[in-house]
C-alpha cells in the first residue's frame, strides 16, 4: 500500500510541476461577441432598376444588395404570366424564366462579372453571365448572352 501511495504522490508532483512550467495560452484574436467588421465597399447598398427588353422584349426588374463587395439579388420578368387556357389545342410556347438569382463580387473602379441563374421547372438549367460597372452614381448591368438586356440601377 505504501508503494502505491508513494507512486501516486510522485505522479501528482510530476503533473503539478509540468502544469507550472507550461506557457500561458495566447489571448483570443477577437473577443467573442464583438466580431471585426468586414471592410466596406463604395458600391455597398441597395440597388434597384429596370432593364430594357433586349432581343426577348421582356424587361427585368432588378433588386441587388451589395454588402462588403458581395453581390446578392434577383431580377424578375414583369411580363411573365401563369398558365392560360389553350382553346385551339396547339402546343403552347415554352415558358421563359420569370425569376433570376444574381451573385458575385463587386469591384469599384472597373467592370466586374456576376452570375445569373434562372429559376425554371424540370431539369432545364439556365445561366447567363452579367457584366456590371459603376457609371457615375449608378450601376449598369449588361447580359453577355441570352436576351442581351441592359439595366441601369440606382441606389434605393
CATH of the domain at 116: 2.40.128
- Indicate the number of domains in the chain: 1
Residue 134 belongs to some domain of the structure: yes
Span of 41-55, 108-122, 125-139 with lowest mean pLDDT:
108-122
Residue 39 belongs to some domain of the structure: no
Domain that holds residue 57: 45-79+96-155
Cβ atoms within 10 Å, residue 105: 13
pTM of the model: 0.66
> How confident is the model at residue 90, as a pLDDT?
74
Residue 11 belongs to some domain of the structure: no
pLDDT of 50 > 90? The answer is: yes
Residue 145 belongs to some domain of the structure: yes
- Give the span between the Cα atoms of 151 and 143, in whole angstroms: 9
Residue 118 belongs to some domain of the structure: yes
Nearest to 62 by CA among 140, 127, 146, 145: 140
Residue 24 belongs to some domain of the structure: no
Residue 133 belongs to some domain of the structure: yes
Amino acid at each position: 500500500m505504501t508503494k502505491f501511495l508513494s507512486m501516486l504522490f510522485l505522479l501528482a508532483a510530476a503533473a503539478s510541476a509540468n502544469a507550472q512550467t507550461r506557457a500561458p495560452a495566447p489571448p483570443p484574436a477577437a473577443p467573442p461577441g464583438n466580431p471585426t467588421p468586414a471592410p466596406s465597399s463604395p458600391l455597398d447598398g441597395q440597388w434597384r432598376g429596370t432593364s430594357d427588353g433586349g432581343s426577348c422584349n421582356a424587361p427585368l426588374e432588378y433588386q441587388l444588395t451589395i454588402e462588403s463587395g458581395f453581390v446578392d439579388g434577383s431580377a424578375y420578368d414583369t411580363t411573365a404570366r401563369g398558365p392560360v387556357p389553350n382553346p385551339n389545342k396547339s402546343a403552347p410556347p415554352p415558358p421563359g424564366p420569370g425569376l433570376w438569382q444574381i451573385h458575385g463580387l463587386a469591384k469599384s473602379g472597373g467592370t466586374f462579372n456576376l452570375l445569373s441563374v434562372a429559376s425554371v421547372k424540370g431539369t432545364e438549367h439556365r445561366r447567363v453571365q452579367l457584366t456590371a460597372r459603376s457609371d457615375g452614381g449608378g450601376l449598369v448591368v449588361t447580359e453577355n448572352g441570352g436576351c442581351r438586356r441592359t439595366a441601369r440601377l440606382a441606389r434605393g
